Amino acid sequence: MLYEDVATQVARLIQTGAYRVGDRVPSVRALSRKLDVSVATVLEAYRMLKARGLIEPRPQSGYYVRPRPVEASPPSERPAPPSPAAPVAVHELGMKLLHDARSRSLVPLGAALPRPALMPFDKLRRILARILRLHPAEAHGIDALPGCRALRVQVAQRAMLAGLPLSPDEIVTTCGAQEAVSLALRAVCRPGDTVAVESPIFFGILQAIEVLGLKAVEIDAHPREGMELGCLRAALRRRRVRAVIAIPTFNNPLGSAMPEEKKKELVRMLASRDVPLVEDDMYGDLHFGFDRPKAAKAFDANGLVLTCGSFSKSLAPGWRVGWLAPGRFQRDIERLKMTSTLATATPLQLAVAEFMAHGGYERTLRVQRKAHARAVDELARAVVRHFPPGTGVSSPEGGFVVWVRMPERVDSIALYGQALKAGIMIAPGPMFSPRGRFRNFVRLNAGAWTPDLDRTIATLGRLARA
Amino acid sequence: MLYEDVATQVARLIQTGAYRVGDRVPSVRALSRKLDVSVATVLEAYRMLKARGLIEPRPQSGYYVRPRPVEASPPSERPAPPSPAAPVAVHELGMKLLHDARSRSLVPLGAALPRPALMPFDKLRRILARILRLHPAEAHGIDALPGCRALRVQVAQRAMLAGLPLSPDEIVTTCGAQEAVSLALRAVCRPGDTVAVESPIFFGILQAIEVLGLKAVEIDAHPREGMELGCLRAALRRRRVRAVIAIPTFNNPLGSAMPEEKKKELVRMLASRDVPLVEDDMYGDLHFGFDRPKAAKAFDANGLVLTCGSFSKSLAPGWRVGWLAPGRFQRDIERLKMTSTLATATPLQLAVAEFMAHGGYERTLRVQRKAHARAVDELARAVVRHFPPGTGVSSPEGGFVVWVRMPERVDSIALYGQALKAGIMIAPGPMFSPRGRFRNFVRLNAGAWTPDLDRTIATLGRLARA
């Protein structure tokens, strides 16, 4: 038996679902005994499966099935040249989405919300109640700039995992990542300035750019490796770009992670031109692979990277607790935060800090990562099953959204309306582009997993075919 | 015995503290029996005391001692003409104050924070814990624009008391009043625009104006009746004023309430010129008199008044729950709120709503009003006792801060530094003016009442004399 045969056999077991995303495949020794082949043969087979992205090794633990939708093809093949700088106009669409999302009867494939069952609501509630009982004056009182120290200490400790040696004093707590992004943009830009924006990107960022009166240059993101640095370089040469904004780790909607070397190059390129990078690191903790990727800020020697984080995707979306590491813009951010909301809700900051310190945050994240990886995998498979031929699906490395490229003739805004009538909420592609591109794309939220998922996707697929 | 004699006798009892602020003085019938004078004589005496501002009638209840510091004289006699429009620069001072305020060992006469013992922390905590237990998905989840409906319903109901027939859909919830004020200014002004600002006014408002790149025209406030409308009219004639911002009800730091007729005139004047009014109504519920004064928005027929409210002064400063009634700017405010913080913390909104609905909010406010009125009175008396001759003290009609005019030679910024060394935090006058006026004024927080108050004020008085 050749190592290719071993690999084929294991690949088939993965494809048929015998081993699911996050499962451990048999150990090298066990498989060699079972198939009566040498350890070297199995090792070679596993190396091959790893190269194909089907499995990944974890130190001292073995090989695990990686998420990888069948027949997935990258959403776009060749990056477009950087767009002209132009005002952004995605706001109305976003407002409509948020408004429609209030209806609780819809299947919520639109917003990027994690499954409530995965969130430690019960533990958070008990921690919060205890803090308010034991420290009433502190927990009900205001904790002004730069925010609750207990939380800043925890965020700083965790930042180490992302390669960030932050001190608690280099962190400002915020009312969710949306405030962090908004303050960061206000700190580094003035109305009329041009921002280079990774595309596609989360529409909340585009709305902030629009409302702040900034112009956007759209920089294509490679479906697996993030922002195309060649395009960015061209854009930086061509015009005065005041700042760059991107989600380098698990871009929303792509799910892609920019490789470390590329992050390093990005930060170096911007440093040489003294251009700040606003890094949205919302999803960094929700990696499907073994390691937490480094943040771009890990390579920032000049304080030019402003990194935004949040607990909305891992603990409680409605608590609105986030943070910002503003680098050299610390003082500007404090001024802005003070006049924008003065402070973040104290009791919720304290409870998040306590949960991080003693509540099993890492354990919670482990469970979430595995569940998200599986949900993304299942959703992507269902899309491939039911959507028209020629549909491509992203292969997220983290987070819980899936980006779907439908055939060119499908209009996702029309599909949005039809899906709504069928009781399904989706996020149409043009929301994720400053200029309303991605007309034939949709983002689907794998956090909304239900037993009916297959039927829901079948309905969507039918609508997309029609 | 003449009615003047009766009045003198009652006045003396009030001045010596036999009847304290908020106490009921003897009924007309009881006093007439006791002093053996006619009911008409007592009535006449009470009318005289009422005219002097010492007592006030409450329907079906009798006469009550009003807060009125001894020897109080108005902080300024004649309004200054409107200032030239100029950028604001109070930010650094405000940042320093906030920074210094983090030290918990200081006597906190600086920030306007209510006494924790007056806040219903225990009840709030229990309500919050119950909501999180019974409705975990809803309470931990995000409740997007325009904010939790349960809270908007309660705010709308209470707004009736301020003469505002608001529907819940005309309210947007915010992260405290600071976000409300900031969003309101951003909705009606662009950087470089000129805002007419009541002066003195809460420095958080001035900081927002500064950070947003607006220019301010300073409009003097009469110490008892609020913004001088003559000055405002002159300013409106002279230049393009994009908006007006004021705290018509219990101005912070003055404690004054603009009379209803004047509010009406203010709103009419602005309506005729299509100029929006940003109304900070933070303190409206903390009236010392019997009735809740009407908000300026009560007279707004054109949707030009944006009223900002909050629960930071009555329930929990650190919860950061506020609201904004944006009138015709509803859509702009929603756009801004969405990109600024997306949403306000859900569980805290729900708990405030529940407290308002069934927690005894009105009872809580009644206790607070009386306590604040007394604390303000005691603080003002202590100031008069210990500060240099020529010191004047405000006569607040609500809220819990006292505005002190010291003799011209006293520099409140120097006093701030000396007081800090003595372990006392104060708010120097220049923070309350766009141009750093009120050099010989300080604002003192009566919410910081302690048994040592007299000694603390004696220390401050000694420093002010030196």
- Do residues B409 and B391 touch, judged by C-beta distance below 8 A? no
Residue A230 in tokens: 């060649």
Q: Across the interface, do A175 and B348 touch by the CB < 8 Å criterion?
A: no
Q: DSSP assignment of A162-192, as one string?
A: GT----GGG-EEESHHHHHHHHHHHHH--TT
> In whole angstroms, what is the distance from residue A404 CA to residue A395 CA?
10
The ipTM value here is: 0.86
Q: Across the interface, do B347 and A344 touch by the CB < 8 Å criterion?
A: no
3-state class (DSSP) for residue A265: helix
Residue A80 in tokens: 């477009």
Each of the 466 residues of chain B gets a pLDDT tens digit; together they read 788 888 888 887 887 777 888 888 888 888 888 888 998 999 888 987 887 778 888 877 888 888 765 444 444 556 666 677 777 666 677 777 777 776 767 888 988 889 899 999 999 999 999 999 999 989 999 888 899 999 999 999 999 999 999 999 999 999 999 999 999 999 999 999 999 999 999 999 999 999 999 999 999 999 889 999 999 999 999 999 999 999 999 999 999 999 999 999 999 999 999 999 999 999 999 999 888 999 999 999 999 999 999 999 999 999 999 999 999 999 999 999 999 999 999 999 999 999 999 989 999 999 999 999 999 999 999 999 999 999 999 989 999 999 999 999 999 999 999 999 999 999 999 999 999 999 999 999 998 767 788 999 999 999 999 8
- Residues 6 or more apart whose CB falls under 8 angstroms from that of A456 comprise A107, A109, A424, A450
Q: Across the interface, do B341 and A124 touch by the CB < 8 Å criterion?
A: no
Residues in chain A: 466
Residue A321 in tokens: 């607790």
Q: Measured between alpha carbons, how far is residue B217 from residues A257, B59, B85, B200 in Å?
A: 51, 41, 5, 12
- What one-letter code names the amino acid at B73? S
* CATH architecture assignment, domain A120-360: 3-Layer(aba) Sandwich (3.40)
Pairing assessment for the beta strands B322-325 and A226-227 based on DSSP bridges: unpaired
Q: Residue B341: which of A143, A178, A338 has the nearest Cβ?
A: A178
Residue B1 in tokens: 């015995």
Q: What is the CA radius of gyration of chain A?
A: 22
Q: Across the interface, do B339 and A119 touch by the CB < 8 Å criterion?
A: no
CATH number attached to the domain at B123-360: 3.40.640.10
Q: Across the interface, do B98 and A144 touch by the CB < 8 Å criterion?
A: yes
- Do residues B317 and A142 touch, judged by C-beta distance below 8 A? yes
Residues of chain A contacting residue B312, judged by C-beta atoms under 8 Å apart: 142
Cα angle: A130, vertex A136, A137; to 5 degrees: 150
**Is the domain covering B88-117+363-465 a CATH 3.90.1150.10 domain?**
yes
3-state class (DSSP) for residue A194: strand
Distance from CA of B134 to the nearest CA of A (A): 11
> In whole angstroms, what is the distance from residue B278 CA to residue B343 CA?
21
Q: Measured between alpha carbons, how far is residue A261 from residues A170, A299, A329 in Å?
A: 25, 10, 25
Distance from CA of A236 to the nearest CA of B (A): 26
Q: Where are the domains of chain B?
A: 3-65, 88-117+363-465, 123-360
Residue A437 in tokens: 């591109």
Distance from CA of B245 to the nearest CA of A (A): 15
Taking Cα atoms as reference points, which of A183, A200, A125, A199 lies closest to residue A355? A125
Q: DSSP assignment of B224-261, as one string?
A: TTEE-HHHHHHHHHHS---EEEE--BS-TTT--B--HH
- Do residues A446 and A402 touch, judged by C-beta distance below 8 A? yes
Taking Cα atoms as reference points, which of B85, B158, B173, B98 lies closest to residue B350? B173
Q: Is B78 exposed, middle or buried (0-12, 13-18, 19+ CB in 10 A)?
A: exposed
> In whole angstroms, what is the distance from residue A316 CA to residue A120 CA?
8
C-beta atoms surrounding B253 within 10 Å: 30
**Is the domain covering B3-65 a CATH 1.10.10.10 domain?**
yes
**E strand intervals along A74-139:** 86-87, 107-108
Q: What are phi and psi of A341, to 5 degrees?
A: -140, 5
Q: Across the interface, do B175 and A341 touch by the CB < 8 Å criterion?
A: yes
